[in-house]
Structure 1
Amino acid sequence: MLASKRLYPLIACAAIVVAVVAAVTGLAEPVLSPNPLDLTIGEYAALDRTGAAGLAMAALGIAAFAVVAGLRSVGAPVDALAERLVLAWGAGLVVLAVLSAVLPATGTDLIAQTYRYLSIAVLAAVPAAGGLTVARFGEDERWRPVARPVEWLTLAGGFGLLALVYVMLPGQGMFVGLVEWSLLGAEVALVGVLAVRLARLTWARGAAHASRAALG
């Protein structure tokens, strides 16, 4: 049981690293745009021919599932709704990864529109989960060290969502790509903070058990 608890944060951290490397590699591809940050996440996925977009989103989906499993395994102070929101974020990213493979091969607008609205829904999930969780972390001794970073990243995500609504409506889409990428970056950072804290808790507990077994 302890071995599986220690495995969850390792999977999450490794998946986040893979996702970041894939995204940076894809954004560096000059074929996409002179400035890839002008592209929305959906536009980037539709134009990408390297597979980096799909890999990054699938890896983030795996990270989300592993983080939720890890939080449950250690009894973290996270309520069911927050867990479901993170799982929805991960599942949505996996669906987007599949759609990113389908989008370039279709000439219809339906999949592109589905991709667009699903990506917006996905981007709203993690800030909402952070808002439900940060107060509980502040009250728990094990999770208090990350309560402030989670709060900052949740606020960044909330402001990012407000900025996204603005640029899509009165802003007429100006800088929408930059806003989407910044918002996704804040969300990945929040999930990463949880994964790193999980790793510290589970591996420290494992080391303590090993020490007691050696002394006993």
Structure 2
Amino acid sequence: MSDQRAELSWTEAGVPVSDRFDDPYFSLQNGLEETRHVFLAGNDLPGRFAKGFHIAELGFGTGLNMLTAWAEWERSGQTAPLGFTSFEAFPMAQDEMARALAAFPELAPWADRFLSGWNGQSCDLESLHLRVIHGDARETLGTWDGRADAWFLDGFSPARNPELWQPDLMAEVAAHTRQGGTAATYTAAGFVRRGLEAAGFSVTRSPGYGRKRHMTRAVKL
């Protein structure tokens, strides 16, 4: 397990902010709706859900993206477990995740089950097989033996956390994506789009959530 932990401050509205990157963990407007817009709709989910589906993510954070996807997985009637692997360099403590997730009462049934089964690195439930790999994704992703159907690229802002958006890492994302798999992110930074294209994705710019004019969607060719 990483010995580096998340360093947090909290807004009056209960949104955690990374002191290290000076960036909130989710939208100040509505984190749940942002996740639905960017990561679910951006990957054409839940329409693509099927047995054996696997989501991978850069930046686990509070677990909000995972919970949102898992809730939709169950609501869509899937009976096999959703595979979900996330890469996180600075993990949050469980009580911090619980505090952040309390802002989304709609997800409380899933948050309660997740937190009850969470051991700090994994959570294996009947409908969810979650693994969070701690450490620098530039070092850990290359050793992962899985491939994803969809990627949630959710590192902190590229301007503040450029390490998680470099071309070499985007190439590793592509290498761990099934043919026809997708990726989505809230950022439309040019160097991120170019890195995804160089890695073998077809990249499009789409309307962003809230005050963000654009976001990025990608499909592996």
TM-score by length of 1: 0.25
Larger relative CO (CA 8 A, sep 6+): 1 or 2?
1
Structure whose alpha-carbon radius of gyration is higher: 1
Q: Between Structure 1 and Structure 2, which shows a larger proportion of helix residues?
A: 1
